[in-house]
Amino acid sequence: MNIFALLSLVSGVLILSLGIFVFDQNRKSPQHIIFLLLGVFASWWAFAESMMLGAESFATAGFWMKATALWTFVPPLALNFIVVFTRPDSLKKEKWIYPALYIPALIFSWIELSGSLITTAPIQAFGGYVFGYSRQTIFPLVEISWAVILAIIAMLLCVQFYFATTDHRREQQAKYIMAGIGVTTIFGILTQQILPGLQFPIPDLTSASILCFTGCVGYAIWKYRLFILNPATVADNILSTMTDGLVILDPDGNIVATNQALSRMVGTSKEKCVGRPVNDIFYHESDKAKIVAMILAQGSLSDYETTFRSEEGMAIPVSFSGSVIRDTDGSVAGIVGVSRDITERKRVDEALTQARIKLNVLNAVTFSDIQSTIFSLMGYLQLEKSRQAGECQQQFIDREIELVQVIADSLKYADLFQSLGLKSPVWQNVNQSFLLGISHLDILNLSRRLDVCDVEVYADPMLEYVFLALADNIREHAPTATEYSFTYTKNLQGLVLVLEDNGPGIPASQKEKIFKRGYGRRTGVSLYLSREVLSITGISISETGVEGKGARFEILVPPGAWRKTRQP
């Protein structure tokens, strides 16, 4: 085997070994996977060319010349690697890049394998057999021009990235990658086109020059931790089972790694997250700049409340903590952030706040009612005392009894109110809560249809008493009813729970009055209190039936406050 064949063989072995080494550092990273593929195709190209250069017969050289046809995938893979390295979000946003890179490679490879439009027959020359190119078509020139253009684009991307990034380590990585591609391209043009055209006796050393690319990338790995001290590698060493969302950013604010928890939080896959600017997951773009600035200035940040944006555009309140990742030389290598979904906590806080407000109002009104009633009662007692025995005495006693009953009702309301908001809202199965509510009533004589078993709502624990009030309304005010149903529908506003009966219905003039304080106190738990209980978590209730056709109560549950029942 001559020296040129040996150079190509060594080049192939080294680039394949480097590709396997890089892939082993992070087997899930697109950047590492593409570099492995680049190593595989470049290795095959170098191996096939070394066999052609060292072939002992024309037929053997012809076979290995055709085998090198897969070299056409090396330039697009190199450019693909550079795009992922410099602009990791481009391939996700601009899908046309893939066909633009690989369809020409496939076409050129097929042309080389199937005919003689590009390569014809190997030529015996100094250093062994070399490629014989067709002089009858322009395909060889088109193919070489295409490969050179891809190499130039790759180098320009490296140059642009070199001047754009603020990370010294990444600058050096880009510089050495660019140098490797540049040297390989120049060697290829010189030994394949320029020197043979000048009648200089030298074989094509393009594949052998891959040694330069391998050396530059290897040096960048050793000196500047290319691939190894990439924040994406760090993520694989962190527990993948953690419940909090993990995001790792490069110094330019791009996402280089996430865990499953964060992917679930924002409603997308890990693969779609990686490469995107971190701005994409913040609901307010200004939050990103503020948080990154605080972390860089302080070194870390703890429990900062902000908002993420889901893939569907929904706001997700989170508690964010982060810290700087530093290289061995003390420079900033990236940022690691941990986020905790605080939607439930926010929801509970809001519900408890609403409950406290309502309790304060209800207590004030109850106190005012009792105070006014006692004042009236005292007035009647004074009148009764000032009159002669027997004079209107029975009327006074009847009125005093009524006032005492009013006080008793107010105290009963106060007793009910003290449970309002006492416990945090919880997710409740609507069917179970309804059955618990009506279990306190004797309405077995009515036929029923329930179709709410597969939904849950987020409501105050007093939800069953809401259903008790609604069912008691049927028993008390619809004596002719023979059946009722409890179903649900969905619309743009959310989930609508519908309870209706076939009784006399409610007159239009009373549809709102039935929810007023003091109306229908004989129902035990008034519809007024029911509306207050539901409103704690943003649920509303209204009566929409037609008089003469039965009552119809609609409970509107907003998005986020209802869900399908989770299967065990």
9-22 residue pLDDT tens: 888 888 899 889 88
Mean pLDDT (whole number) for 390-406: 71
Query: pLDDT for 226-265, tens place per residue?
Result: 765 445 445 455 545 677 888 888 877 788 878 878 888 8
Q: Tell me the pLDDT band of 107, cut-offs 50, 70 and 90.
A: very high
- Which is more confidently placed, 405 or 54? 54
Residue 128's φ and ψ, nearest 5 degrees, are 120, -170
Other beta carbons within 10 angstroms of residue 126's beta carbon come to 11
Contact (Cβ atoms closer than 8 angstroms) between residue 473 and residue 551 = yes
Q: State the pLDDT at residue 202.
A: 64
Residue 382 burial (C-beta neighbours within 10 Å; 0-12, 13-18, 19+):
exposed
Q: pLDDT value at position 206?
A: 67
CA distance 481 to 504: 8
Could you give the CA distance from residue 393 to residue 79 in angstroms, rounded to a whole number? 104
Q: What pLDDT shows up at residue 409?
A: 66
Segment holding 433, helix H or strand E: helix 430-438
**DSSP label at residue 504:** S
Amino acid at 6: L
**pLDDT given for residue 496 in this prediction:** 95
What's the mean pLDDT when you consider all of the chain? 81
Q: What is the pLDDT of residue 520?
A: 55
pLDDT given at position 54: 84
Output the pLDDT for position 523. Answer: 41
Query: What's the whole-number mean pLDDT along residues 309-338?
Result: 83
Instruction: Tell me the pTM.
Output: 0.47
Can you give the pLDDT at residue 269?
76
Residue 358 binned pLDDT confidence (cut-offs 50, 70, 90): low
Task: Answer yes or no: is pLDDT of 505 > 70.
Answer: yes
Poorest-pLDDT segment among 105-119, 235-249, 393-407: 235-249
- Burial pattern 255-293, b for ≥16 Cβ within 10 A else e, equals bbbbbebbbebbebebebbbbbbbbbbbbeeebbeebbe
Q: Band of the pLDDT at 191, cuts 50, 70, 90?
A: low
Query: Which residue is associated with the tokens 């995001």?
Result: 247
Rounded CA separation 276/346 (Å) = 28
- Separation CA 555–CA 539 (nearest Å): 7
Tell me what pLDDT residue 195 has.
61
**Which among 417, 347, 65, 13 is positioned nearest to 208, based on CA atoms?**
13
Selected residue with higher pLDDT from 270 and 561: 561
Q: How far is it between the farthest Cα atoms of the chain?
A: 142
Sign, Cα dihedral of 205, 61, 143, 22: negative
Q: What is the DSSP string of 473-486?
A: HHHHH-TT--EEEE
**58 alpha-carbon distance from chain centroid:** 59
> Could you give the percent of the chain with pLDDT greater than 90?
17
Which residues, 6+ apart, have CB-to-CB distance to 536 below 8 Å? 351, 354, 355, 358, 420, 421, 425, 459, 460
Half-sphere exposure of 346 (CA within 13 A, CB side): 14
* Lowest-confidence region among 95-109, 406-420, 425-439, 444-458: 406-420
Is residue 452 scored above 50 in pLDDT? yes
